[in-house]
Amino acid sequence: MSAANEQLIRDIVSEVLGRLGGKPASAKPLASAESAAPAAAACGCGSKGTAVSTPGLRGKFGVFADANEACVAAQESFLQLQQQGVAARVKIVEIVKAMAEANAEPWGKIELDETRIGRLDHKIEKLKIIKLVPGVEWLRPDARSGDHGITLEEYTPFGVVGAVTPSTHSIPTLSGNIVNIIAAGNAAVFNPHPSAARCAAIAIRAFNEAIYREIGIENIATIIEKPSMESFAAMCKHDVVRLLLVTGGPGVVKAAMQTGKRAICAGPGNPPVYVDDTACMKRAAKAIIQGASYDNNLLCIGEKEVFALENIADKLMSQMEQNGGVKLTSIQLEALTKAAFTITPGQGGGCGHAAVNKDFIGKDPSVLARAAGLNIPAGTQLLFAETDADHPFVVEEQMMPFLPITRVKSLEEGVARSLVAEHGYKHTAIIHSHDVEAMTAMGRALDTTLFIKNGPCMAGLGLGGEGYLSFSIATPTGEGVSNPRTFTRVRRCVMVDNLRIY
Ligand code: NAD
């Protein structure tokens, strides 16, 4: 055989091995991989700011114009990940967590610049806390040992997971989803929200560049650069996509459930808060302001309406004023309502429908205050006002730094009104009380995925309460706060009559 032919064969073998999961010569072997923090710094995405340029993102390191190509590339990377084993997953999780933290400031800023919703300080914080998302350590197998041998149940990957992310937390959801999905051994394809797609593509590219440099896998998480309903449909339909994860409102949840594929749906919420006369008013007021003002109330778990027992309602509102809240008069409330909703009158004198005005979603309290006709002091966190229980601010998931407060006469009324306001989403509910029976009654009646007592909403995600973080809380489909196990298939391995060692 000629030297040229030998070289050709060597090249082909090397290419095939590379595709099957071998590393290119430039990739570092895992055994010698340094910690992720230096990796993040080395790729130019360290704490000094991202060096990722925006033009020419397409077609490399995870960013694709075509949904089918994004799916195929993710599948190839999934096979490579399988070859490289658990150590590679651990490495990827480390890289993503370290880079989300190191790039929190520039990425928070580009996300805010693109979406124009929320607050910079909280956009940054949401990236810094990606380290609280659980990783590979969550996949400990279950074992049984008995007279008839040993059985092992392992948490194994599906393959490629097709994911949809919201405009409210684009890079944080993407980063947290990557950690969970890849810790479980899968690859991911993202169809992001069109109004938060550019920042998501920047993060995906940076993650893939760093991952490629460390372990030679180029497209473990891919993204469709210009997402659309068509690209969503193509992603869902693609053969390699075995599982869907959608995070968003009612439209995308319905669409995902109609695909015929298994879908994990992190759907909408409208979390009610009930406050009774056994609660500490100062603590309750502080917690309510903290939760409802976070990122200008963009959180799906965020406090959206308060039902306060009538004998403490004034005290609660006074404490809210002392902790960063500004109370609107009924005239100011009327002006804000007119600006924040388009009300379509119901037929035959019915109550009609209120559509949220998108120009006010996630905007600063000063923008809402202007619409209400008042100036507010700098540092105001939240506006609030007394309303009826059927006010649009109570009924709609409004995602603005405004909170309606409704007086109720009893626990029964508070729970009943909370149940109506929550719309059966079974998402999140909050109580401030020291009455265990009231807590139990509300918890049972609301039947929500998160039920928080005496803290702000974020305590339900391990931020001030016990637990772990995810930005995708699977509500209608029941998986709860998603974690690596959510993205696994359970497979059983049985040895009959042997391997039991006593
Ligand atoms: P959205 O529903 O407008 O968009 C979410 C995603 O779904 C986007 O990528 C969008 O392009 C896509 N989408 C929307 N309708 C679709 C359809 N019919 N077919 C295919 N794709 C579709 O939501 P948003 O405004 O970006 O985010 C806010 C909503 O998401 C709120 O309802 C909030 O409660 C919910 N949310 C839930 C969680 C959770 O963990 N449960 C987390 C964040 C946000």
Asked if the structure places residue 472 within a domain, the reply is: no
Does one domain contain both 222 and 166?
A: yes
Asked if the structure places residue 27 within a domain, the reply is: no
Does one domain contain both 239 and 112?
A: yes
Average pLDDT over residues 121-133: 98
Q: Is 275 in the pocket of ligand 1 (CB under 6 A)?
A: no
Determine contact, residues 306/403, Cβ cutoff 8 Å.
Answer: yes
Query: pLDDT band for position 346 (50/70/90)?
Result: confident
Residue nearest to atom 16 of ligand 1 (CA): 252
Asked if the structure places residue 359 within a domain, the reply is: yes
Residue nearest to atom 11 of ligand 1 (CA): 193
Pocket test for ligand 1, best of 167, 244, 469 (most atoms within 8 A of CB): 167
- 215 C-alpha to ligand 1 centroid (Å): 33
Q: Can you give the pLDDT at residue 441?
A: 98
Determine contact, residues 164/68, Cβ cutoff 8 Å.
Answer: no
Whether pLDDT at 137 is above 50: yes
Q: Is 166 in the pocket of ligand 1 (CB under 6 A)?
A: yes
Q: What digits encode the pLDDT tens for the residues 289-341?
A: 999 999 999 999 999 999 999 999 999 999 999 999 999 999 999 999 999 99
Q: Can you give the pLDDT at residue 348?
A: 58
- Cite the beta strand spans of 66-159 per DSSP E: 142-146, 149-157
Q: What digits encode the pLDDT tens for the residues 224-245?
A: 999 999 999 999 999 999 999 9
Q: Is 192 in the pocket of ligand 1 (CB under 6 A)?
A: yes
Q: What digits encode the pLDDT tens for the residues 426-446?
A: 999 999 999 999 999 999 999
Average pLDDT over residues 63-75: 98
- Whole-number mean pLDDT of the chain? 90
* Atom number, ligand 1, closest to the C-alpha of residue 165: 9
Query: pLDDT band for position 2 (50/70/90)?
Result: very low
Does one domain contain both 290 and 219?
A: no
Q: What digits encode the pLDDT tens for the residues 356-381?
A: 999 999 999 999 999 999 999 999 99
Q: What CATH number has the domain bearing residue 67?
A: 3.40.605.10
Q: Can you give the pLDDT at residue 205?
A: 98
Q: Interior CA angle at 453 toward 403 and 475, to 5°?
A: 75
Q: Is 266 in the pocket of ligand 1 (CB under 6 A)?
A: yes
Q: Is 200 in the pocket of ligand 1 (CB under 6 A)?
A: no
Determine contact, residues 102/194, Cβ cutoff 8 Å.
Answer: no
Average pLDDT over residues 391-399: 97
* Atom number, ligand 1, closest to the C-alpha of residue 191: 9
495 forms beta bridges with: 150
Q: Is 480 in the pocket of ligand 1 (CB under 6 A)?
A: no
Asked if the structure places residue 470 within a domain, the reply is: no
* Atom number, ligand 1, closest to the C-alpha of residue 270: 34
Residue 38 one-letter amino acid: P
Pocket test for ligand 1, best of 247, 261, 427 (most atoms within 8 A of CB): 247
- 26 C-alpha to ligand 1 centroid (Å): 40
Residue 83 one-letter amino acid: Q
Q: Can you give the pLDDT at residue 60?
A: 83
Does one domain contain both 311 and 222?
A: no
Within 10 angstroms of residue 359's Cβ, the number of other Cβ atoms is 11
Does one domain contain both 94 and 231?
A: yes
Does one domain contain both 320 and 345?
A: yes
Does one domain contain both 368 and 310?
A: yes
Q: Can you give the pLDDT at residue 35?
A: 34
Q: Is beta strand 305-309 parallel, antiparallel or unpaired with respect to 325-327?
A: unpaired
Domain count, the chain: 2
Query: pLDDT band for position 349 (50/70/90)?
Result: low
- 242 C-alpha to ligand 1 centroid (Å): 21
Asked if the structure places residue 23 within a domain, the reply is: no
316 is in which domain, residue-wise?
272-465
Asked if the structure places residue 31 within a domain, the reply is: no
Rounded Cα gap, residues 303 and 20, in angstroms: 48
- 423 C-alpha to ligand 1 centroid (Å): 17
Q: What digits encode the pLDDT tens for the residues 243-278?
A: 999 999 999 999 999 999 999 999 999 999 999 999
Does one domain contain both 210 and 96?
A: yes
Whether pLDDT at 19 is above 70: no
Asked if the structure places residue 476 within a domain, the reply is: no
Q: What CATH number has the domain bearing residue 338?
A: 3.40.309.10
Stated pTM of the model: 0.90
Residue nearest to atom 22 of ligand 1 (CA): 252
Pocket test for ligand 1, best of 252, 396, 423 (most atoms within 8 A of CB): 252
- 400 C-alpha to ligand 1 centroid (Å): 16
Does one domain contain both 377 and 359?
A: yes
Rounded Cα gap, residues 340 and 421, in angstroms: 18
Q: Is 473 in the pocket of ligand 1 (CB under 6 A)?
A: yes
Does one domain contain both 369 and 352?
A: yes
Residue nearest to atom 23 of ligand 1 (CA): 248
Does one domain contain both 128 and 97?
A: yes
Write down how long the chain is: 502
Within 10 angstroms of residue 135's Cβ, the number of other Cβ atoms is 21
CA nearest neighbour of 210 among 309, 113, 119, 97: 97
Q: Residue 406 belongs to what H/E stretch?
A: strand 402-408
Pocket test for ligand 1, best of 111, 165, 168 (most atoms within 8 A of CB): 168
Rounded Cα gap, residues 273 and 288, in angstroms: 8
Asked if the structure places residue 14 within a domain, the reply is: no
Q: Is 251 in the pocket of ligand 1 (CB under 6 A)?
A: yes
Contacts of 27 (CB under 8 A, 6+ apart): 212, 213, 214, 215, 216
Q: What digits encode the pLDDT tens for the residues 97-119?
A: 999 999 999 999 999 999 999 99
- 205 C-alpha to ligand 1 centroid (Å): 23
Token representation of residue 135: 């990783």
Does one domain contain both 294 and 414?
A: yes
